[in-house]
Amino acid sequence: MRSDDIEEVRRLRLFRDVSPGHVETLMRGAFLQRFPAHVELVREGERADFLHIVVDGRVEMFSAHRDRETTVGVLGPGQSFILAAVLLDRLYLKSARSLLPSRILMIPAEAIRDGFAQDPMLARGLGEELAVAYRDVVKELKNQKLRTGLERLANWLLTRDAETGSSGRFELPFDKKVLAARLGMAPEALSRAFAALAAYRVVVQGPTVAIHDVEALRKLAQPSALIDDPAS
């Protein structure tokens, strides 16, 4: 790995409090790999050989069973995946594919496990990362089981708007069919849900969304900090 790559890696939240020396050691067997869009990075059922961290780009986590497939989450820069499988030395539960051209940092599982045992600051970072990931999945499970598709969409729009500066106007960060998968619905259902939101003054034209009456949308969505707030 090039040394300015290492610089970049050191800035990841996960390594924030880890001493430079330890980061260096970790990076010894690591790659910073470039992937084109739409490739499978990891397939469920395989052995967890590397911890993966999205440095750049976007990655979709999904899982298939029989003839069904479901998206479990979409990750952006700074987020890691399959940490739990790496720590436990188990099989991946999910597959991952790139949605955009992406740069992925891959650290050998062995090095992570050793680092966890030897470097308390790294252990802390990994523990927090895992705890956050855990809470995210729990939120997702609640989101799925306690809400209708329309409600999930409404809440997603609200969080997305908040993330992009609450201007009431933003672009979808990926195709609608990916969004549909992300929200756990068929593309057709998403389309109809968008149509239904017209009554709440949400206007969609291609990839751009305008929310003209946040209050109305919020009343429908009934957001909850314990499901939607990424920081809670």
Partner DNA sequence: GGCCGGGTTTGACCTGGATCAAGCGGCAAG
Partner DNA sequence: CTTGCCGCTTGATCCAGGTCAAACCCGGCC
Residue ranges binding a second copy (CB under 8 A)? 44-45, 63-66, 68-70, 72, 83-85, 87-88, 90-91, 93-94, 116-118, 120, 123-124, 126-128, 130-135, 137-142, 144-147, 184, 222, 224-227, 232
Least separation in angstroms between residue 110's CB and a second copy is 15
128: Cβ–Cβ under 8 A, 6 or more apart, which residues? none
177 belongs to the binding site for DNA (CB under 7 A) = yes
Identified binder of DNA from the candidate list 150, 154, 158, 220, rule CB under 7 A: 150
137: Cβ–Cβ under 8 A, 6 or more apart, which residues? 72, 73
Least separation in angstroms between residue 142's CB and DNA is 14
Identified binder of DNA from the candidate list 33, 187, 210, 218, rule CB under 7 A: 187
Least separation in angstroms between residue 132's CB and DNA is 27
In contact, 125 and 16? CB cutoff 8 Å: yes
The residue among 45 and 207 lying less far from a second copy, judged by its C-beta, is 45
Query: Of 28-36, 39-47, 106-114, 188-196, which part binds DNA (CB under 7 A)?
Result: 188-196
Angle in degrees, CA 226, 162, 179, rounded to 5: 80
Over its C-alpha atoms, the chain yields an Rg (Å, rounded) of 19
Q: How far is CA 153 from the centre of its chain?
A: 17
55: Cβ–Cβ under 8 A, 6 or more apart, which residues? 8, 9, 12, 32, 77, 78, 102, 103, 104, 105
Which amino acid belongs to residue 186?
A
Cα separation, 84 vs 94, whole angstroms: 11
The residue among 112 and 185 lying less far from DNA, judged by its C-beta, is 185
Residue 6-45 contact track with DNA, rule CB under 7 A, x = bound: ----------------------------------------
Query: Of 72-80, 99-107, 181-189, 224-232, which part binds DNA (CB under 7 A)?
Result: 181-189
